[in-house]
Amino acid sequence: MKPPAFDVVIAGGGLAAQRCCETLRRGGFDGSIAMLCGERCAPYDRPPLSKAVLTDGREPHPPRFKPPDWYEREAVELMLGHAAHGLDPRSRTIAVTVGKAPQARGRLRFGQLVIATGSRPRRLPCLLPGGPLYELRTHADALALRRALRQTEGPLVVLGAGLIGMEVAASARLLGRPVSMIEAAATPLARALPPMLGRWIAGMHREQGVDVRLATSVRRVRLRREHARLELSDGRTLSAAMVLLAAGTEPAVQWLAGSGLGPGAVATDAGGRTRLPGVLAAGDAASYPNAYLGRPAATQHWEAAARQGATVARSILGLATSPAPTPMFWSDQYRRRIQLVGHAADGCLTEIEGNACGGEPFAAWMASGGRPCAALLMDRPDLVPQARRWIAQSHAESPAALPHNAETNTDAGGVTCHTCP
């Protein structure tokens, strides 16, 4: 018997998958669509998991994108608890497992396949979740952490000062819990921010009572009943009632092994097409060309995943791809809105607009190689469009023009940096 066939199969049931379905149907696509959701619930939004889901009074439901009847009305076959398990590009079939039962396997045929399986927490071989060790990717993870934050006595130790680690640290402090945050790099978000701004963010957490330990790693973890003892590289020992494993994420694409795609995030063109005909990719699992970095990159942020979900749908509909805007991500910590527009890793600070001390809103403008490259906005969402224009222009023209009263060094054809020697 031939496996069931769909015109479009979407592997993954998160943000990118949802945006792909919506854009297909809005664009008049009347073919059959199946969405494989590895989790047993319809697509929901992840950013609240490290924020409101942990701090709000009532136990929340998954923050769903659409009411349950939307999928029926839009004729989207929602296959809950069905995980993509393998891809055979020659027969254009995908292997599917159902729940945890290994014998419950099947295959689906596809006209076009969209890979949208997102990412998953990076695991250290010696530290797997369980007991007092937690990770955070799904609503179920968030509920477990939420319960522990309310019911367990003793401190939380966060391993990793990335976005999720810092957001959980902030939520736990808002709940009044003692928190330590351990980071192996010299500053938080070291791959995304210049050291000076990373130090500023570490300072914000310290002001809120977090014991932040930078350039420190964990040598050993001893589990005793429901407690953990962590031996650190600086020779000290910490005792924890809960440990959040937040050492970054990796694309959830292991199921593609042997298909000709991967390993790592799936490389695509600007329209989300992979090197295999009829196979596209979007969201955290994908690596798109990035004009701002001058190389392909997996962004693993909300805005890019939403846009790429719509992009692959446009490619399926035969429509042109619109150019990607300047990248942006946001984070909410201690009820402050942090936004990073552009790519700042190689950037130097050129100008601070506003007062970075005392919890005031401010904007930090950055340049790299004499060109504007990024802006860190603290409680200044109004500046996002301006920051985007500023960075986009700098890629289109030379020399770049700074938006404010930052100094420009016309001899050097660019921006004078206030922090570099």
Of the candidate residues 255, 288, 362, 390, the single one contacting ligand FAD (CB under 6 A): 255
Listed in sequence order, the residues at least 6 apart from 55 whose beta carbon sits closer than 8 Å to its beta carbon are 171, 174, 175
Of the candidate residues 21, 84, 348, 367, the single one contacting ligand FAD (CB under 6 A): 84
Is 47 a binding residue for ligand FAD by CB under 6 A? The answer is yes
**Residue 161 vs 285, nearer CB to ligand FAD:** 285
Least gap, CB of 49 to ligand FAD (angstroms): 4
Edge-to-edge, what's the strand order for the sheet holding 286-290? 266-267, 286-290, 295-297
Of the candidate residues 42, 83, 158, 312, the single one contacting ligand FAD (CB under 6 A): 83
Is 343 a binding residue for ligand FAD by CB under 6 A? The answer is no
Is 118 a binding residue for ligand FAD by CB under 6 A? The answer is yes
Listed in sequence order, the residues at least 6 apart from 251 whose beta carbon sits closer than 8 Å to its beta carbon are 117, 118, 119, 262, 264, 265, 266, 284, 285, 286, 298
User: With CB under 6 A as the contact rule, which of the stretches 23-31, 117-125, 127-135, 386-394 interacts with ligand FAD?
Assistant: 117-125
Give dist(CA 161, CA 164) in Å, integer. 8
Give dist(CA 102, CA 82) in Å, integer. 12
Is 50 a binding residue for ligand FAD by CB under 6 A? The answer is yes
Least gap, CB of 178 to ligand FAD (angstroms): 21
**Residue 84 vs 204, nearer CB to ligand FAD:** 84
**Residue 35 vs 240, nearer CB to ligand FAD:** 35
Least gap, CB of 69 to ligand FAD (angstroms): 20
Is 283 a binding residue for ligand FAD by CB under 6 A? The answer is yes
59 and 143 Cβ atoms separated by less than 8 Å: yes
**Residue 63 vs 399, nearer CB to ligand FAD:** 63
Amino acid at 325: P
Q: Which two tokens stand for residue 123?
A: 């695991």
| Neighbour tally for 88: CB within 10 Å | 13
Of the candidate residues 11, 212, 313, 316, the single one contacting ligand FAD (CB under 6 A): 11
**Residue 67 vs 421, nearer CB to ligand FAD:** 67
Cis peptide before 399 (omega within 30 of 0): yes
Is 35 a binding residue for ligand FAD by CB under 6 A? The answer is no
Is 242 a binding residue for ligand FAD by CB under 6 A? The answer is no
Amino acid at 228: A
Is 137 a binding residue for ligand FAD by CB under 6 A? The answer is yes
Least gap, CB of 331 to ligand FAD (angstroms): 5
Q: Which two tokens stand for residue 152?
A: 């367990």
DSSP tag of 389: H
Cis peptide before 125 (omega within 30 of 0): no
Task: Name residue, tokens 């429509």.
Answer: 319
**Residue 221 vs 252, nearer CB to ligand FAD:** 252
- Kindly list the distances between the CA atom of residue 415 and the CA atoms of 196, 351, 412, in Å, as whole numbers in the listed order: 18, 10, 8
User: With CB under 6 A as the contact rule, which of the stretches 86-94, 219-227, 278-286, 368-376 interacts with ligand FAD?
Assistant: 278-286
Of the candidate residues 301, 307, 314, 371, the single one contacting ligand FAD (CB under 6 A): 301
**Residue 304 vs 406, nearer CB to ligand FAD:** 304
Listed in sequence order, the residues at least 6 apart from 166 whose beta carbon sits closer than 8 Å to its beta carbon are 158, 181, 188, 189, 201, 205, 331, 333
C-beta nearest to ligand FAD: residue: 14
Half-sphere exposure of 355 (CA within 13 A, CB side): 4
Is 39 a binding residue for ligand FAD by CB under 6 A? The answer is yes
Q: In the complex, which residues of this chain contact ligand FAD (CB under 6 A)?
A: 11-17, 36-39, 46-47, 49-50, 83-84, 116-119, 136-137, 164, 252, 255, 283-285, 300-303, 305, 329-331
